[in-house]
Structure 1
Amino acid sequence: MAPVKISHVVSFSSQDPKYPVENLLNPDSPRKPWLSCPQDKSGQLKVELQLERAVPIGYIDVGNCGCAFLQIDVGRSSWPLDRPFITLLPATTLMSLTDSKQGKNRSGVRMFKDVDFLAPASGELWDRLRLTCSQPFTRHQSFGLAFLRVRSSLDSLDDSVVGPSALVSSVLNKD
């Protein structure tokens, strides 16, 4: 499963200046989360991310940082702005009500694979992700994501494809 690079942030709803949304762009850097602005009491965070290229998404690993629920929708950069995204991962529980209210188990990792994804979106090519994080139980504390890793269901994202004609050509050019 090939890793998919997140090229840039298209839009976001909120961020803590100390923990900006750009922290999600490099999941292998020292762990700095993306957190909601301390003054934001809406209980919901959204980010739209541009992937390096359109790929079928096979795996998504998420590091939680206080979110109770997460939903992931997918789309394409070529779509008109008014076209709605398609749900890849329906709203999923990352923290229970009790844990949220007690501030326990705020950090955890969830790994999602293609069997967790909804059929209309699974297996199609996507280059945009929209993540909706929510924490309706405790609005006095910042929340967000520690990291996000996306992997394609393809074995490799290499552009070069060696076909029969390329093999014949390389054999003929050996002499």
Structure 2
Amino acid sequence: MAAVQASPPTTRARSIMTLDGYVSRGKAPPNSVPRDHAMLQEFGTYLELRLKSQNLSMLRRIFADFLNEHENTLIPMMHQGCTMITIFPVLRTSAERLRQAKILLTKPKFPLDDRGCVFTYLQYRTATRNMTLFKQLFWDFVRHQEKSLLAFVERGNESLLEQWKQ
């Protein structure tokens, strides 16, 4: 009888597509990647619905790359030095936007995989102001709250760091 050779183990590939059609590819996904990706994408959409913003699609791409453990979006962005991801302390006033944002805010949330916090990673990898703000907004989003978002709007460009230390 001929011996049957087992095929070598294969690594599953994963593709993550952002809302704007960007596809990030990676290997050996933890089971939590699709869930984490969905929640981070919804967070970006929530910010766009609630606040005036610029280039949040880049943040979505960075989220996808982070989950795939590479920097295909971040490195070119840093080299070009011209793309700024910005949220402004200005609430969107459309009733439809508010309705859609409330739906996202009230959806069930799950803890992110413990591979690390994307916002801490970005704080160390980029020249940034207010990454702590993004992180706090995200944690409020996970807890179904808008406390930090409304404080950001109320205080405008003032730093919220002192408030969060309390």
Q: Same fold (TM over 0.5)?
A: no
Q: TM-score, normalised by structure 2?
A: 0.30
Which protein has greater RCO, CA pairs closer than 8 Å, 6+ apart?
A: 1
The structure with the greater share of residues assigned to strand is 1
TM-score (norm 1): 0.29
The answer to which structure has the higher helix fraction is: 2
